[in-house]
Amino acid sequence: MSDEWDEFFRRFRRFPFSFFERYWEDFFREFEEEFRRIEEMVPKELVRERKTERGVERIFGPFVYGYSITIGPDGKPIIREFGNVRPRLGRRPLELRSEREPLVDVIPEEDVIRVVAELPGVDKNDIQLNVTEKVLTIKVDTPERKYYKEVELPEEVESEGARATYKNGVLEVVLKKKKTKAKGVSLKVE
């Protein structure tokens, strides 16, 4: 073991900086390889090119990830993620999508369910909404912005009479709750 260390130190004393040069060369080579792997994962819709004085410049993004934490009626935290990036645990690659998932709040009220979504940078005519009894789908597909979210509703709603407004990047959808039918009549035992 000491012969190996002696040989290492003998080489290091002769060329002390070559050790660090090799170390940095290896570091930068691995960094470039990792960046190329990430570049291959990016959806083509998130890569743009433009010509500059120095040549063609590639622009990636936007990449958005965020979360909102609120306390539910049962006292437990509710975590809602939004954006177009999903982190993964371990060495698995990130999940990247071309469309962003907007931040959405679902507010149940007495007779209605109110859904509020942040959709900045779009025109109201580009927003597509579809509602079923239990799901509201929000979709925007323009060259500049792409949003997509399927919102599970806490109760069944009537699609008739639903209304939506959009102002300052905020979409608000108001859905009437479905009237519950009487399940029967209680009888008094004589």
Q: Give the DSSP per-residue string, 102-122.
A: PPEEEEE-SSEEEEEEE-TT-
Domain spans of the chain, in order of start: 2-41, 65-177
- Residue 106 pLDDT > 80, yes or no? yes
Query: Class for domain 65-177, per CATH?
Result: mainly beta
Instruction: Please give the residue that has the higher pLDDT: either 82 or 6.
Output: 82
Tens-place pLDDT, residues 7-24: 766 666 655 556 667 777
The average pLDDT across 57-77 equals: 81
Phi and psi at residue 40, in whole multiples of 5°?
-70, -25
Instruction: Please give the residue that has the higher pLDDT: either 117 or 68.
Output: 117
Handedness of CA 23, 24, 27, 32 (dihedral sign): negative
The average pLDDT across 71-75 equals: 81
Mean of the per-residue pLDDT values of the chain: 81
pTM exceeds 0.75 for this model: no
Phi and psi at residue 4, in whole multiples of 5°?
-65, -45
